[in-house]
Amino acid sequence: MPHLNKKQRLLIVEGNIGAGKSTFLKIIQENLACQVVFEPHEMWQNISGKGNLLDEFYKDKHRWSYTFQSYAFITRTLAQKKSAKENPHLTQVLERSVFSDKYCFAKNLYESGQMSDLEWTLYQEWFNWFFEDYVQKPDGFIYLRTTPQTCYNRLKKRNRSEEQEVPLSYLTQLHEKHENWLINKQNLDYYVQDVPVLVLDCNKEFETDKAQKNELINKITSFFDLNLHCNKEIFDKNLI
């Protein structure tokens, strides 16, 4: 049964494209008692049978940046809200968030000239309005810190059609944005300035390494216990 009478804790996993977020979240899903909400890729790839917005975005960022970032915000928020109503646990873990959209992806598109001054201003205005009423403030971020080259290699390995033309330079730009946000905490809005961040080095392949998986899980539970003043019993599954 969903925990309707208790505020669910919200933890967000962030990282560059190819950082290992989906793999990391599957490990969390299998070993910790929490609800995992993956990015709504399917919604971006099939807009009511009318087309693949994600593919259009990668083909022509100048044309589709504002449209894609707007739709990404809406679908992320809807997915989080819908899943929260069905969550049998006290904790919800998201794959990325509207915050990485704003501080990394949308900001990078604006600074690289793919989004106009007007579009960037509009994006920020309705973002702030929506946040006040529809977005839950996170209890913590987990940053899967990975080099752009490692991310690039993983993109080539997983071979998603929309990502085949993603250049290393784009991943480098996004890496810098993640670093400025989650490590250096530059130019942040008030609502995320005090959110604690757990930084994990994810350059090594951890999917098949049992010891490394257990180490990552232990770091997550310790992060909750020490930084969020939350008992580890919120994660009641056994380790691998």
Q: Each residue of 158-192: pLDDT tens digit?
A: 877 778 788 999 999 999 999 999 999 999 988 89
Query: What pLDDT is stored for residue 221 in this prediction?
Result: 84
Return all residues near 178 (Cβ < 8 A) that are at least 6 apart.
14, 15, 16, 100, 104, 143, 145
Of the pLDDT bands very low, low, confident and very high (cuts 50, 70, 90), residue 230 is low
The residue with greater pLDDT, 19 or 3, is 19
Domain residue spans in the chain?
9-234
Give CA torsion, residues 31, 214, 81, 21, to 10 deg. Answer: -120
On average, the pLDDT of the chain sits at 88
Give pTM, 2 decimals.
Answer: 0.89
Active site residue 95: yes
Identified catalytic residue from 30, 39, 56, 95: 95
pLDDT digits (tens, 9 = 90+) for 10-37: 999 999 999 999 999 998 888 888 899 9
C-beta separation of 119 from 106 below 8 A: no
Q: CATH classification of 9-234 is 3.40.50.300, yes or no?
A: yes
Give CA torsion, residues 106, 109, 110, 111, to 10 deg. Answer: 120
